[in-house]
């Protein structure tokens, strides 16, 4: 018997050795594998396939800028001034900016981690219905003086168990334990014990049924889907935000260039006015007017530089980059804005077409989440109603064998004998006489349902409002481009003509100065209209739910609204 016990004891000892030697990194890897498998399965279920990983790349632009430009951080006391080559900074394209934002943005990373956490929560809910194994090893030295004699000995024990909770509500558990007791006396008296037991619980009324038992699991399954839908919506909004801010930074940079060009023109105008005044062809007061406009132009140029720098720093924060890093943007993007995207326009339609509203209501991920939450609240009502029923449970248990201790060390070794086991069956009925908490919970679930219903209706109204506003903004921006293009042509002709008239002495210097100011305003207004049109087009596609984002965080911009509506 001792040999058999020692052999059985080697199994839990080996399991203990394997578990004790497993490093924390192995557990992290197991958690990652479980979460990523759940995410991939849910993505296939809802028809999305973008890879989602919470592990950020080792070599990100932020780290590269910190190292290459020797920027000051909390880990450094002084910045290394050996890096002064400003020409080494390469322009960051719009495509690169979207990739950098996806890799460096803190909010983007936080939203990915939210999806990952939901997947881990689902894995935990699934674990409640997996087969569960448990093992326990004990070794005790003790001394008993209660009988007047000193009795010392060693007690060793090993216990293993198995439990299973089924989705029908049935719970089953079984275990087996071994004892080895040996007295520390001259004759080394020892005894062995063995105990096996099993229990079964079957709910018959309250808390029974697959729908009730698996409600937490089903909700966790839905929460992962909701998290993916919310993240998909966030990715679209984030891409539009990054692209919009990129264009707005370029617009401010263009205003700096325009202000500088205007300042240089006014310097030349003031110098010309000085020469004409010296020649007696222009009054001195007009020279002063030219000087005042030159000073105002310089002030606007300095102010434009400050505004542009502030806008660029804000953009760096959105990208998750240090604000003191040198960053250049691709200014050729503004040139590309003269070519309007392949976004269909319907002139004369001030109201958004009905088919686009229908398309948005079918494609918006946040609306799908709101609809799903309302269905969840219906299931919660059924669970709350079940809690009002009587609790009727059938319990069964069986135990065989006996344990050994110091007091029974001189007894015979215990044996498993089913004919001498202890068995019991119990039918427990808890009448629903007191259900105040459950009653109030049911009323709260109905309130939750009505609240979710109102939230869904409000979101539908918000979607319609967003689409109508984006559509009108797109139409307005398109008209502004047409108007400002003509205004710019007029301003350019006006500057050229007033310059000739001034040389001929037919107008005053004020006319030329006003024409140059109007040229600056027309140039800035046209760029602003082009930027606003592109932003409104992206916002409309985002609000329609048809803005396609690829795995790198980029979007497929040239989408035709008419084609989307016909799908």
Is beta strand 548-549 parallel, antiparallel or unpaired with respect to 391-402?
A: unpaired
Query: Does residue 398 sit within a domain?
Result: yes
10-45 per-position pLDDT tens digit: 555 555 555 556 788 899 999 999 999 999 999 999
Query: Does residue 171 sit within a domain?
Result: yes
Query: Does residue 193 sit within a domain?
Result: yes
For residues 455 and 549, the model is more confident at 455
223-277 per-position pLDDT tens digit: 999 999 999 999 999 999 999 999 999 999 999 999 999 899 889 888 988 888 8
158 token code pair: 């090993």
- Element of type H or E holding 172: strand 171-183
pLDDT at 11: 52
Query: Does residue 425 sit within a domain?
Result: yes
519 token code pair: 């040229």
Distances (CA, A) of 71 to 48, 64, 99, 323, 520: 39, 10, 22, 10, 37
Angle of helix 354-363 versus helix 509-544 axis, rounded to 10: 60
Query: Does residue 192 sit within a domain?
Result: yes
Report pTM: 0.82
Distances (CA, A) of 182 to 9, 173, 319, 401, 563: 16, 30, 69, 19, 85
pLDDT band at 557 (very low <50, low <70, confident <90, very high): very low
Considering only CA atoms, which of 334, 321, 352, 384 is closest in space to residue 464?
352
CB atoms under 10 Å from CB of 208, counted, come to 19
Share of the chain above pLDDT 90, in %: 48
Give the lowest-confidence range in 47-51, 187-191, 548-552.
548-552
Count CA within 13 A, CB hemisphere, residue 387: 18
For residue 379, what are the contacts with CB-CB under 8 A and spacing of at least 6? 211, 215, 218, 219
Alpha carbon distance 49, 28 (integer Å):
24
Domain count, the chain: 1
Angle of helix 509-544 versus helix 436-503 axis, rounded to 10: 150
Alpha carbon distance 543, 545 (integer Å):
5
Domain limits at 180?
Answer: 131-203+391-430
Query: Does residue 508 sit within a domain?
Result: no
Query: Does residue 399 sit within a domain?
Result: yes
pLDDT at 86: 46
Task: Identify the residue whose tokens are 């010392």.
Answer: 152
pLDDT at 18: 55
186-238 per-position pLDDT tens digit: 677 888 899 999 999 999 999 999 999 999 999 999 999 999 999 999 999 99
Averaged pLDDT for residues 544-566 = 58
* Count of helix runs (H) and strand runs (E) in the chain: 14, 10
Considering only CA atoms, which of 207, 147, 153, 157 is closest in space to residue 178?
157
Averaged pLDDT for residues 490-495 = 90
Considering only CA atoms, which of 252, 256, 274, 276 is closest in space to residue 264?
256
Q: What is the CA radius of gyration of the chain?
A: 39
Largest separation between any pair of C-alpha atoms in the chain: 135
Query: Does residue 313 sit within a domain?
Result: no
Return phi, psi of residue 153, to 5°. -170, 175
- Is residue 50 within 8 Å of 549, Cβ to Cβ? yes
**Paired strand residues for 437:** none
């Amino acid at each position: 018997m001792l040999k058999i016990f020692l052999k059985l004891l080697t199994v839990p000892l080996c399991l203990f050795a394997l578990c004790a030697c497993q490093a924390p990194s192995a557990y992290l890897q197991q958690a990652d594998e479980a979460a990523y498998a759940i995410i991939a399965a849910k993505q296939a279920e809802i028809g999305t396939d973008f890879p989602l990983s919470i592990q950020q790349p080792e070599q990100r632009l932020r780290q590269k800028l910190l190292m290459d430009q020797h920027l000051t951080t909390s880990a450094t006391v002084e910045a290394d001034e050996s890096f002064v080559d400003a020409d080494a900074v390469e322009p960051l394209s719009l495509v690169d900016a979207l990739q950098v934002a996806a890799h460096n943005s803190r909010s983007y990373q936080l939203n990915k981690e939210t999806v990952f956490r939901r997947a881990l929560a689902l894995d935990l809910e699934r674990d409640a219905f997996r087969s569960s194994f448990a093992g326990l090893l004990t070794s005790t030295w003790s001394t008993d003086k209660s009988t007047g004699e000193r009795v010392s000995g060693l007690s060793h024990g090993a216990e293993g168990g198995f439990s299973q909770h089924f989705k029908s509500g049935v719970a089953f558990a079984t275990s087996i334990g071994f004892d080895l007791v040996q007295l520390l006396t001259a004759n080394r008296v020892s005894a062995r014990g063995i105990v096996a037991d099993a229990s079964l619980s079957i709910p018959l009324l309250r808390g029974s049924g697959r729908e009730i038992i698996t409600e937490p699991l089903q909700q966790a399954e839905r929460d992962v889907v909701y998290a993916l839908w919310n993240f998909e919506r966030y990715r679209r909004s984030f891409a539009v935000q990054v692209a919009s801010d990129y264009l707005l930074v370029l617009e401010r940079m263009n205003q700096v260039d325009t202000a500088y060009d205007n300042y240089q023109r006014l310097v030349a105008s003031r110098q010309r006015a000085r020469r004409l005044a010296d020649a007696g062809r222009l009054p001195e007061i007009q020279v002063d007017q030219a000087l005042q406009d030159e000073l105002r132009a310089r002030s606007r140029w300095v102010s434009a530089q400050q505004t542009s720098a502030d806008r660029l720093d804000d953009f760096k924060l959105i990208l998750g980059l240090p604000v003191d890093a040198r960053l250049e943007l691709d200014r050729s993007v503004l040139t590309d804005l003269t070519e309007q995207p392949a976004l269909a326009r319907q002139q004369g339609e001030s109201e958004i077409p009905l088919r686009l509203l229908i398309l948005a209501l079918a494609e918006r991920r946040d609306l799908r989440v709101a609809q799903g939450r309302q269905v969840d609240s219906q299931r919660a009502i059924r669970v709350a109603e079940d809690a009002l029923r009587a609790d009727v449970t059938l319990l069964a248990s069986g135990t065989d064998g006996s344990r050994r201790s110091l007091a029974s060390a001189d007894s015979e070794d215990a044996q498993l004998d089913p004919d001498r086991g202890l068995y019991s069956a119990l039918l427990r009925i808890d009448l629903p006489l007191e259900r105040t908490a459950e009653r109030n919970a049911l009323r709260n679930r109905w309130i939750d349902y009505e609240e979710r219903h109102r939230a869904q209706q409000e979101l539908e109204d918000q979607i319609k409002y967003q689409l109508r506003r984006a559509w009108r903004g797109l139409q307005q921006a398109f008209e502004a481009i047409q108007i400002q293009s003509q205004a710019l042509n007029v301003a350019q002709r006006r500057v050229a003509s007033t310059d000739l008239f001034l040389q001929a002495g037919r107008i005053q210097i004020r006319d030329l100065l006003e024409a140059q100011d109007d040229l600056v305003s027309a140039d800035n207004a046209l760029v602003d209209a082009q930027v606003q049109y592109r932003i409104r087009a992206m916002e409309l596609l985002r609000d329609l739910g048809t803005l396609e984002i690829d795995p790198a965080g980029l979007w497929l911009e040239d989408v035709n609204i008419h084609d989307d509506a016909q799908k």
